[in-house]
Structure formats: C-alpha cells, structure tokens
Copies of this chain bind each other. A is one copy, B any other.
Amino acid sequence: MSGREFFTARTVSDALVEFRPSRRTTVESVPLAEALRRVPTADVITPGALPGFPRATVDGYAVRAVDTYGASEGLPSYLGLVGSVRMGSAPTVAVPPGGCVAIPTGAVLPEGADAVVMVEHTGETMPGTIEVTRPVAPGAGMVRADEDVAAGAVLVAAGRPLRAPELGLLAAAGVTTVQVHARPRVAIISTGDEVVPPSTLTLAAGQVRDATASALAALVLDSGGEPVVAGIVPDDRGALEDALGRALAHADLVVVSAGSSVGNRDETAAAVAALGTIWCHGLAVKPGKPTLLADCAGVPLIGLPGNPLSALVVFRLIGVPLVWRLAGCEAAPPEPSRRARLSRDVASAAGRLDVVQVAVGDGSAEPLFGPSALLSVLTKADGYIVVPEPATGLDGGREVEVILYR
C-alpha cells in the first residue's frame, strides 16, 4: 500500500531544476499605478536621455570651473553676476568667462557653465559681484543631460518584477503603461468527503472546514498570481476528473489538495494520470512527502498533501517559484530572512529536505514540533528553517537562516 504510493519519489532540488513547465502567461498592458511587482515581457527602452538637460544639484552659482581654480577663503575668486535661472524654465543668459549665474537646485545649467558652486562657499560682498572661496572641478554640483539614463538605454529589464524605483524611473521617462505578463491564474481545488466550506456554521461528526484553500489563495496573491478557488470535490474519481478538466481549461496552474488518506490520494493520482503525465508522486521533504507533480498538456499541476501545514510548506517550496516563472520571472523575489541561533538539536534523514517551523525571539530560533495536522503550529511560527537534503540534522546552538513569514 505505502510501497506503491511513492513509486516515483524525487527530491525538492530535482523538482526545482527539472519540473519547469515552459508555459508563460499572455501579455497585457497596465498603467504604472497597477504595475508594482508585475513582470515586463520585454526590455523597456527609454524614449530619451534623463534628466534630459544639464541640471544643478545644489543651490548656488553656475560658473566656468576654470574661473574658480586657486580660490580660497584668503584669496577668493571674484565673478560678475550676470543673471539668474528660474526653476523649470530655459536660462535666458549664458555664463561668460569671469562671470556667474545664480541657480537653484534642479534648474537648467546655462550655456558656458560647466559646474555649480554651492551657495555655502560664496558670498555677495558687493552687489553684482560674487566671491567664491573654494575651487570646483568641471561637473561639480551638477549632473549631465544623460547621466541618469543615456539615450537608447534599458529603463527596466524583461523578466524582473517592477519595484518602486523602477516605477519612478518609468514615470520620469514618460512611460506610463508597461507590457507585462498577465497574473497567472491558479485554480485551487479541495478534495475530501470530510471537507466542507469555511462558511459551514455547524459541523456534522467528522467534518472539517476547508482551511487550505484560504491559506493557499493568500500565498498565490503573494506570488503575484490570481487565485481561483474552485471549491470542494468529493472523493470520487469521476467528480475529480470533471473538476480537474474544468480547471485545466482556464488555469495556468492547478493546485489540488489531494486529501489526507491514502485512498483519497490514490483517487487523485488516478484522476491526474488520466489527464496528463505524472512527473513525480512523492517528494523527499518532511512534511510534504505525498506530493504529486504533473504536466497536463502544458499546464502544471501540483497535488498537495491533505493536511494544511504540509500543503503550505510544499506550496511555498514548489508552488511559489512556479507562479513567478509562469509570469515570466525566473527567480522569485527574495523572502525576508534573518540569522538566529538554533535553540536545540533538530534531527533529519539524509536525502530528505526537512522544513522546521520556528518561533524567533531574541536572536534564537525555537523549533516548533507537533503533528503536521495542526495548523496552530504554523500560526505560532515566525518562519522556518531548512535542513538540507544531505544533512542528517542540525545541532542546537548553531547559527541558522530563518526564512520569515510576512
């Protein structure tokens, strides 16, 4: 019974490297206000150089740098003030040799100038004459017209999720819509004769409300996907095949919580086998062993273990990177993490990845043990640590990297 079940067990590392469907979502155009963490389908080239004009970065006087050479507190350079530049306007005067023009931070450098002296290093001792007490080099106190972005440069790269600064740079360049991958539609199917909707007020004996679908939907949202909660299917081969078929027709990824008992998992595996190719049935991870990965005519499918804790552990490891990849991003953005000292020994088996929930306090990581049937183990956890596949455990007292939940 249990021997048959895991006939094609694989490691998590293998799954991450080899179970990489080529499917990508379609292209859509979104305004900047909706583009956070969306993934551009192509490099976006700037329509022009930025800032687009030589620009003062300090308040002061536009000068020819050569006119300030040798200036000091004791022996200032005296420059004739020939005018001023207004913010947001073209300069109306040029800087002649021996002259200067007053300029605010952000304004256009006038013709003739190649530097700006900070107002702190100047004085106007006589009206119309500015004394400069420090020399400046060409380029000081300013940025060149193409110093932020050169003409023809890439503003944002294909395949990298857009962050706040990229949105700012696109706005600065006048790019107000971006071509991005559509959010991957992730169908979430729950199975099990004992599972009822969360809205069920009174449970009959042996019934449990569907916890996994709500939690998975949150992880899908977090990875930039669009969860489509498809409901609960009874442990019946025909009903299961129907539900999977409907989901596969519209989804970019299908996730099915495959029930908790061996019988239920067998039904799910049989239904999946009828619709696609099973890549693995059994994953060398604890918790999460009864995981099934399949390819159904190009649509990836994940059969998750029945208990919510295991299901969430596996979806974080395997599902989250898959959702990002479907959206055109090969490497998922980083998760928060921190270093902590493991408070006691954690055992593992070589060849198996162990995911251990931990509570973090005061620099130490306390492993939370308990049956993986308990959701409260997860709600008490601040994050998890991983015991890698080759290791047989981690010694208490050693420093570990805790992946933090946010």
Q: Is the CB of A209 within 8 A of B171?
A: yes
Closest to A162 in B: B218
Contact with B along A175-209 (1 / 0, CB 8 A): 11000000000000000111100111101111111
The CA-CA distance from A170 to B405 in the complex, in Å, is: 17
A376-B149 contact, Cβ under 8 Å, with A167-B218, A214-B33: yes
A120 at the interface (CB under 8 A from B): yes
Q: Is the CB of B379 within 8 A of A165?
A: yes
The CA-CA distance from A307 to B58 in the complex, in Å, is: 11
Other-chain residue from B174, B211, B404 in contact with A198 (beta carbon distance below 8 A) = B174
Within 8 A of B (CB), among A146-177: 147-149, 155-156, 161, 163-176
Q: Is the CB of B104 within 8 A of A261?
A: yes
A214-B373 contact, Cβ under 8 Å, with A106-B194, A106-B208: no
Interface-side segment among A8-16, A245-253, A335-343: A335-343
In the complex, what's the smallest C-beta–C-beta distance from A119 to chain B, in angstroms?
6
The CA-CA distance from A201 to B47 in the complex, in Å, is: 10
In the assembled complex, which residues on chain B have CB atoms less than 8 Å from the CB atom of A367?
none
Q: Is the CB of A173 within 8 A of B209?
A: yes
Other-chain residue from B119, B219, B229, B261 in contact with A106 (beta carbon distance below 8 A) = B261
What count of chain A residues pass the 8 Å CB interface test? 107
Closest to A214 in B: B171
Q: Is the CB of B119 within 8 A of A2?
A: yes
A22 at the interface (CB under 8 A from B): no
The CA-CA distance from A308 to B165 in the complex, in Å, is: 9
A373-B306 contact, Cβ under 8 Å, with A105-B260, A165-B312: no
Contact with B along A255-292 (1 / 0, CB 8 A): 00001111110000000000000000000000000000
In the assembled complex, which residues on chain B have CB atoms less than 8 Å from the CB atom of A55?
373
The CA-CA distance from A200 to B156 in the complex, in Å, is: 20
A53 at the interface (CB under 8 A from B): yes
Q: Is the CB of B334 within 8 A of A404?
A: yes
The CA-CA distance from A337 to B53 in the complex, in Å, is: 37
The CA-CA distance from A275 to B329 in the complex, in Å, is: 46
Q: Is the CB of A375 within 8 A of B165?
A: yes
Q: Is the CB of A206 within 8 A of B262?
A: no
Interface-side segment among A72-80, A86-94, A346-354, A387-395: A86-94
Contact with B along A215-248 (1 / 0, CB 8 A): 1111101100001010000010000000000000
Query: 13 new A-B pairs (CB below 8 Å) besides A106-B373, A176-B199?
Result: A33-B227, A57-B371, A87-B235, A88-B192, A90-B204, A167-B217, A168-B214, A168-B375, A171-B210, A171-B215, A172-B375, A333-B406, A335-B336
Interface residues of A (CB under 8 A from B): 1-2, 32-33, 36-37, 50-53, 55, 57, 59, 85-91, 104-108, 119-120, 143, 147-149, 155-156, 161, 163-176, 192-195, 198-201, 203-219, 221-222, 227, 229, 235, 259-264, 306-308, 312, 333-339, 371-376, 378-379, 381, 404-406
